[in-house]
Amino acid sequence: MAIDRIKYRSWKGEKSSHFHRVYTIVNNIFLQKMKSKGILIILIIGLFLAHAFPIIFGALIPHEELTAEMMVGTNFISYLKNGLLIIFTILLVSLVCSDLISQDLKDKSFVLYFSRPIKTFDYLAGKIGGAISIISIFTFFPFIIYCLVIIGTQTGDDYSGSISILGKTIIVGILTTIFFVSYGTMISSLTKKKTYAGIGIFMSFFVLIIIGDIFTTFDQNWSLISPINLLFYSYDIIYGIELSSNLNSNIIGVLLFCIIFLPLVITFIQVYKKEVGK
């Protein structure tokens, strides 16, 4: 091994490198997931069925401007409340998030991260950021493309109204992505088996939809127990569509806050208590 003594000196912990360390985890997860055939297949089929068709039809059907109804209305051209979109999103989240934390729990690869200058928060930020980078390909960018295509092919002159809808769609895209990733990451942190996590994510959404539907006959607020209904109602609020008088918007706000932030807190506690702070 005739090589010169290494000239390199160790990194001294400059703050400018902090984001790079988180970015490294994000980038690693993105590259790993994009190698997965299952994820690529779901992405391609899903983009084609749930996004390409609405975008093409939206462009071909004569329209004056981009309206909230086109995004979340109940007519046939409603884009965001499309069942296919939700099914493919859940499938994608199940695949992307299933091994996000569970694999590290199983392999004890927390040590890989925490024996480096990485804090629990950085680790989670990197993991969640990595998942967001994939899921947003399906739940953020296509929404923007849809809006831009509709605006580009509109026959009317009211561009300000259309751009306002575009702005609201950006918020909806961010909300949808974080909503699913947060939930999926929490489920992944609860088990060491990625199969359990994947099935858990997929099934929990459907079980909650069924439970919500059963109890809705007694009180419509029970429909909020379904994360998908909760997400749809929050779309209505963002686009300024009037909710049913039987629904309590305060409960929607509280539940939405809980379903996004509680999973993040639970995930942090799981990682911190189980593997770091033992």
- Residue span binding another protein (CB under 8 A) among the ranges 12-20, 131-139, 232-240, 254-262: 12-20
Count of beta carbons in the 10 Å neighbourhood of residue 240: 10
Shortest Å, Cβ 104 to another protein:
8
Least CB distance from residue 2 to another protein, whole Å?
10
Among 11, 74, 83, 245, binds another protein (CB under 8 A): 11
The secondary structure of residue 2, as a DSSP letter, is -
CB of 29 to another protein, least distance (A): 10
DSSP string, 125-193: HHHHHHHHHHHHHHHTHHHHHHHHHHHHT--SS-HHHHHHHHHHHHHHHHHHHHHHHHHHHHHHHT-S-
**CA–CA gap between residue 14 and residue 23 (Å, rounded):** 15
Q: Could you tell me which of 172, 154, 173 has the C-alpha nearest to residue 67? A: 154
What mask, x for binding another protein by CB under 8 A, covers residues 16 to 45?
-xx-xx-xxx-xx--xx--x----------
Separation between Cα atoms, residue 149 and residue 224, nearest integer Å: 32
**C-alpha to C-alpha distance for 108 and 160, rounded to whole angstroms:** 53
Segment interacting with another protein, rule: CB under 8 A, options 1-9, 51-59, 156-164, 228-236: 1-9
CB of 161 to another protein, least distance (A): 44
Helix (H) or strand (E) run with residue 255 in it: helix 249-271
Between 195 and 246, whose beta carbon lies closer to another protein? 195
The nearest distance, CB 270 to another protein, in angstroms, is 16
Smaller CB distance to another protein: residue 2 or 60?
A: 2
Per-residue interface string for the shown chain with another protein, residues 106-145, x marking contact by CB under 8 A:
-xxxxxxxxxxxxx--------------------------
Largest CA distance in the chain: 79
Tokens 């590290």 — which residue?
104
**Cα 145 to Cα 206: distance, rounded to the nearest angstrom:** 29
Applying CB under 8 A, among 1, 60, 83, 155 the residue interacting with another protein is 1
Nearer to another protein, 234 or 270 (CB): 270
Cβ atoms of residues 189 and 106 within 8 Å: no
Binding characters for another protein, 48-87, by CB under 8 A (x = yes):
----------------------------------------
Closest approach of Cβ 202 to another protein, in Å?
23
Contacts to another protein by CB under 8 A:
1, 3, 5-6, 8-14, 17-18, 20-21, 23-25, 27-28, 31-32, 35, 107-119, 275-278
